Amino acid sequence: MAQPIIIALEKPLPDAEAAYAKASSGKALGRELEKLDFAARCRNIPSLTSRLSESQAALIEQLKDQGFDPSKMRLPVEQWYDADEGVTILRTLAEYVNAQLNDFKQPNPILRDLKAGEMLLSAARDAGVRFHFTKA
């Protein structure tokens, strides 16, 4: 089963994040990630996977849970991206999905996740907060 794709913010925006969590689970994005990345290539925008990143703390916990010693590994640095770029990505993907509804098994949950993400990233853009996508 695909992991949900959610948005992480560099600094907390409690009201916007609460509304986002209520409106989106990210499951639809995770389930259709390959098709959405294809859509991004078709529209010449960065893909969702190109903006995926993880916090080092989360990676360390995950590695420890799997029995690895993170101190013996080089962990990638968490990457942050401009929220305005994220808004553009999500809007463009929503336009693509709307135009190609038959290409997706369940377009409505995808559109709901994209719209919720766009609202969160609009608030982040207005607050000057950067983002990245992450797997939940």
- In angstroms, the CA 8 to CA 101 distance is 27
Give 79-111 pLDDT, tens digit per residue.
Answer: 999 999 999 999 999 999 999 999 999 999 999
- In angstroms, the CA 18 to CA 15 distance is 5
- In angstroms, the CA 6 to CA 3 distance is 9
pTM of the model: 0.92
pLDDT at residue 1 tops 80: no
- Phi–psi pair at 8, nearest 5 degrees: -110, 140
Give 56-79 pLDDT, tens digit per residue.
Answer: 888 888 888 999 888 888 888 999
pLDDT at residue 47 tops 90: yes
Sign, CA dihedral 114-120-126-127, equals: negative
pLDDT at 73: 87
Sketch the domain layout of the chain as residue ranges: 5-53+80-135
